[in-house]
Amino acid sequence: MRANQSGAEGTSKSVVYGEKKDFKMDILRYFRRIDHGISDLLKDEHAPLILAGVDYLHPLYREVNTHPHLVDGGIAGNPEHLSVEELHAKAWTILEPFFQKARQDAIARYQQNLDTTRTSHNLQEIVPAAYGGRIELMFVDTESRQWGTFDPVAGEVHLHQEEKPADEDLLEFATIYTILKKGIVYMIEPKEMKERTSVAAVFRYPY
């Protein structure tokens, strides 16, 4: 808009328009810095990212977002007015369908690869595979315990019906190492798996 077209009124409108445009550009520059920091922080993560903020900021952030796991929904409103518990509850409402689908897809993938060397429900195979970073997906019943020992040098697993000195819970051991080596672990009930097993795994490559 030309300032001399409408006198003082036109100039005022031009200034306001310019201020709004500059304000948006400032926000976008700020969001790009946030996106850069998030990308560095979450570069190796696959967990979904949720926006929490006043409504009009959501589409602006999405303009500059480069994180591949930003979910479609978001939490509207000033998050400073919400407790941690309230934020968690609102986030879970958005994410529960996402996690349920991922869980069902993972179970389906295991079932599709049954009777191949890509899967196992044998803990004596799963423990060394978890330690070596070869597990992509693991399913474990958190109510179960399996005592025993694992020798990482020899790759030997010894299972015991009752806890003995120097034993550890090998289901917990496999869970920890699967997570440490960037695998995904799902908590299950044995009835969810065809074999009614307390542990099962999908390997990153044939065993």
- Measure the CA–CA gap between 21 and 31, rounded to whole angstroms: 15
pLDDT of residue 4: 41
* Per-position pLDDT tens, the chain of length 207: 333 444 444 444 454 556 667 888 999 999 999 999 998 888 877 778 999 999 999 999 999 999 999 998 899 999 999 999 999 999 999 999 988 898 999 999 999 998 899 999 999 999 999 999 999 999 999 889 999 999 999 999 999 999 999 999 999 999 999 999 999 999 988 777 777 788 999 999 887
Phi, psi of 146, deg, nearest 5: -135, 105
pLDDT computed for residue 3 by the predictor: 38
Looking up tokens 């810095």, which residue turns up?
33
Backbone angles phi, psi at 90, to 5 degrees: -65, -40
Residue 156: C-alpha distances to residues 5, 93, 129, 133, 144 (Å): 86, 44, 11, 16, 21
Name the CATH topology of 107-203.
60s Ribosomal Protein L30; Chain: A; (3.30.1330)
Looking at 85-160, which runs of residues are DSSP E strands? 119-120, 135-140, 147-151, 156-160
**What residues contact residue 42 under an 8 Å CB cut-off, 6+ apart?**
49, 67, 69
Question: Which residue, among 145, 143, 149, has the nearest Cα to 167 in the 3D structure?
Answer: 149
pTM: 0.69
Contacts of 63 (CB under 8 A, 6+ apart): 28, 31
* Selection from 150, 105, 152 nearest residue 123 by Cα: 150
Please check whether residue 153 is in contact with residue 177, taking contact to mean a CB–CB distance below 8 angstroms: no
pLDDT at 16: 55
Sequence ranges of the chain with CATH classification 3.30.1330.30: 107-203
Paired tokens of 82: 């919400």
131 SS3 class: helix
Give the model's pLDDT for residue 18: 62
